[in-house]
């Protein structure tokens, strides 16, 4: 085994991805996680109020998510994502009761804009041209400085899609991040836009197989092991303080901090990180969806924006949901249920329900917050950063988190190959 231990702090997707990237280095790998479980903001758990295993939030992936799919291939669980063989997104407008399926064609030439049954009702082919202005936005600005944030294409397509991907009201969101999404997805044709859902749960698709794979390959995972301080000396991380347990770092050891932005700032002091966040609210209703109900349904002019249909429940997502964080849960459940009952054609009482409010679900994808994202390398030679909030060029998503872990691990391994790791001398606390 090559010398030097790699300590990865945080067993969310960024940390798990960093650990998996390091497996072939031949070095010992230890993952330290504060909680009793892995997955961070992407996890499944048993919810007694429903008597069901649910996810902390509905997560949508697209076939464009190359890093996420390659992660799943590596751990052997790519087949645990399900979705249609084409780019199909069913929508309903609750104000007009119209229903449609947005259905871009597979190839690069977007002839779907000329097909009435594939594009958004109430729009013509030329209405879509404005979106191309987002492809190369130049300097980062609010989206409403680049495109008109009104009209049918915006209200019925761009807004729901960018709101879900950026978790920020699109008109104020970063045009650079919106452009990155567009270049990775629609600009590559429908084949990059197939929706993918972990229909048996995020834990089953992402977390359990990643942990099993890491353990099979000899990595050690320590749960309930909270990093409380990092001591530095001579420009290197020299000691990791886990309370009762303190780990002195050898000159050949390295650290990847894959914790949330706020934790990294506490641990490292003077790094710049995003500091404004947005909430996501999910409502879960225990019911069998009607037989022909789509797996994913976009709602325009409703309380929630997306419904996800699972065999035992319908779950609704509200992004950028800060306005609902203080709303009593029963009131929120009733408002969302009204829409769910309408689109499913259900009469009668609200079934057993559960509301999950993730107050700091992601950083706010505003231009000024995007500008604060640090790269993987830090001022400390042997310490690297990962997390969906680092400078991945993508919004805070599964794809971004997995890419960040890979980037941090590769930067660390490259530095070590060049013999630039730290000296390991000990010093004062940060």
Ligand X SMILES: Cc1cc2nc3c(=O)[nH]c(=O)nc-3n(C[C@H](O)[C@H](O)[C@H](O)COP(=O)(O)OP(=O)(O)OC[C@H]3O[C@@H](n4cnc5c(N)ncnc54)[C@H](O)[C@@H]3O)c2cc1C
Q: Does 193 bind ligand X (CB under 6 A)?
A: no
Question: Is the CB of residue 385 less than 8 Å from the CB of residue 85?
Answer: no
CB of 71 or CB of 128, closer to ligand X: 71
Question: Which contiguous run of DSSP H or E holds residue 68?
Answer: helix 66-75
Sheet holding 220-222, edge to edge: 220-222, 28-32, 5-9, 254-257, 383-385
CB under 6 A: which stretch of 54-62, 102-110, 113-121, 308-316 binds ligand X?
54-62
CB under 6 A: which stretch of 127-135, 137-145, 183-191, 396-404 binds ligand X?
396-404
Site for ligand X in 281-300 (CB under 6 A): 282
Q: Does 381 bind ligand X (CB under 6 A)?
A: no
Q: Does 260 bind ligand X (CB under 6 A)?
A: yes
Q: Does 388 bind ligand X (CB under 6 A)?
A: yes
Q: Does 361 bind ligand X (CB under 6 A)?
A: yes
Contact with ligand X (CB under 6 A): which of 4, 40, 83, 367? Answer: 40
Residue 43 beta carbon to ligand X: minimum distance, rounded to whole angstroms = 8
Task: Count other Cβ atoms within 10 Å, centred on residue 16.
Answer: 32
CA distances from 136 to 109, 129, 139, 228, 425 (A): 18, 13, 9, 42, 46
Q: Does 396 bind ligand X (CB under 6 A)?
A: yes
Q: Does 401 bind ligand X (CB under 6 A)?
A: yes
DSSP state of 142: B
Contact with ligand X (CB under 6 A): which of 6, 29, 30, 57? Answer: 57
CB of 7 or CB of 27, closer to ligand X: 7
Contact with ligand X (CB under 6 A): which of 6, 11, 221, 336? Answer: 11
Residue 29 beta carbon to ligand X: minimum distance, rounded to whole angstroms = 15
Question: Is the CB of residue 356 less than 8 Å from the CB of residue 380?
Answer: no
Q: Does 249 bind ligand X (CB under 6 A)?
A: no
Q: How many residues bind ligand X (CB under 6 A)?
A: 37
Output the six-digit token pair for 88.
């199909």
Residue 68 beta carbon to ligand X: minimum distance, rounded to whole angstroms = 7
Name which of 273, 355, 368 is nearest 321 in CA terms: 355
Contact with ligand X (CB under 6 A): which of 60, 163, 296, 364? Answer: 60
Q: Which residues of 243-273 are buried (b: 16+ CB within 10 A; e: fewer)?
A: eeeebebeebbbbbbbbbbebbbebbeeeeb
Q: Does 14 bind ligand X (CB under 6 A)?
A: yes
To the nearest 5 percent, what fractions of the chain are helix, strand and coil? 35, 25, 45
Contact with ligand X (CB under 6 A): which of 6, 196, 238, 259? Answer: 259
Q: How far apart are CA 400 and CA 65, in angstroms?
A: 9
> Scanning the structure block, which residue is given the tokens 């000691």?
239
CB under 6 A: which stretch of 10-18, 138-146, 324-332, 411-419 binds ligand X?
10-18
CB of 366 or CB of 398, closer to ligand X: 398
Question: Which contiguous run of DSSP H or E holds residue 101?
Answer: strand 98-102
Residue 72 beta carbon to ligand X: minimum distance, rounded to whole angstroms = 13
Contact with ligand X (CB under 6 A): which of 93, 305, 358, 369? Answer: 358
Quick one: CA torsion of 321, 327, 331, 335, rounded to 10 degrees? -20
Name which of 338, 230, 315 is nearest 50 in CA terms: 315
Contact with ligand X (CB under 6 A): which of 387, 407, 412, 416? Answer: 387
Q: Does 302 bind ligand X (CB under 6 A)?
A: no
Contact with ligand X (CB under 6 A): which of 163, 175, 398, 412? Answer: 398
Q: Does 247 bind ligand X (CB under 6 A)?
A: no
Residue 350 beta carbon to ligand X: minimum distance, rounded to whole angstroms = 21
Contact with ligand X (CB under 6 A): which of 21, 158, 362, 370? Answer: 362
Q: How far apart are CA 124 and CA 114, in angstroms?
A: 8
Q: How far apart are CA 353 and CA 362, in angstroms?
A: 24
Q: State the helix-helix crossing angle for 398-417 and 66-75, rounded to 10 degrees.
A: 70
Contact with ligand X (CB under 6 A): which of 6, 8, 13, 304? Answer: 13
For strands 383-385 and 254-257, give the pairing: parallel
Q: Which residues bind ligand X (CB under 6 A)?
A: 9-15, 32-35, 40-42, 56-57, 59-61, 226-227, 258-260, 263, 280, 282, 358, 361-362, 387-388, 396-399, 401
């Amino acid at each position: 085994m090559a010398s030097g231990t790699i300590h990865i702090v945080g067993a969310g997707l960024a940390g798990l991805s960093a650990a998996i990237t390091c497996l072939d280095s031949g070095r010992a790998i230890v993952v330290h996680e504060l909680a009793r479980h892995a997955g961070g903001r992407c996890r499944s758990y048993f919810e007694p109020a429903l008597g069901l295993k649910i996810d902390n939030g509905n997560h949508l992936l697209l076939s464009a998510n190359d890093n996420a799919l390659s992660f799943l291939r590596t751990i052997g669980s790519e087949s645990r994502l399900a979705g249609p063989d084409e780019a199909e997104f069913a929508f309903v407008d609750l104000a007009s009761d119209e229903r449609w399926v947005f259905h871009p064609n597979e190839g690069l030439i977007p002839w779907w804009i000329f097909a009435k049954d594939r594009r958004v009702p109430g729009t013509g082919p030329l209405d879509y041209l404005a979106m191309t202005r987002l492809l190369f936005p130049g300097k980062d600005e609010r989206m409403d400085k680049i495109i008109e944030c009104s009209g049918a294409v915006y209200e019925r397509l761009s807004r729901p899609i960018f709101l879900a991907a950026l978790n920020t009201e699109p008109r104020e969101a970063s045009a650079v991040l919106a452009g990155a999404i567009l270049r990775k997805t629609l600009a590559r044709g429908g084949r990059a836009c197939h929706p993918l859902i972990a229909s048996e749960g995020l834990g089953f698709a992402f977390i359990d197989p990643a942990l099993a794979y890491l353990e099979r390959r000899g990595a050690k995972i320590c749960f309930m092991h909270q990093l409380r301080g990092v001591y530095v000396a001579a420009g290197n991380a020299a000691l990791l303080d886990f309370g009762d347990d303190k780990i002195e770092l050898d000159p050949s050891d390295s650290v990847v901090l894959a914790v949330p932005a706020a934790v990294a700032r506490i641990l490292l002091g003077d790094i710049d990180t995003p500091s404004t966040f947005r909430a996501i609210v999910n409502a879960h209703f225990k019911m069998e969806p009607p037989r022909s109900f789509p797996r994913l349904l976009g709602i325009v002019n409703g309380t929630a924006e997306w419904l996800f249909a699972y065999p035992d429940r319908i779950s609704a997502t509200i992004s950028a949901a800060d306005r609902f964080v203080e709303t009593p849960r029963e009131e929120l459940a009733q408002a969302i249920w009204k829409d769910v009952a309408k689109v499913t054609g259900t009469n009668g009482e609200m079934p057993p329900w559960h509301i999950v409010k993730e107050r700091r679900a992601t950083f706010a994808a505003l231009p000024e917050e995007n500008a604060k994202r640090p790269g993987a390398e830090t001022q400390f030679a042997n310490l690297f950063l990962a997390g969906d909030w680092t400078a991945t060029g993508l919004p805070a998503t599964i794809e971004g988190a997995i890419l960040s872990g890979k980037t941090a691990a590769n930067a660390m391994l490259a530095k070590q190959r060049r013999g630039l790791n730290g000296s390991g001398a000990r010093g004062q606390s940060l």
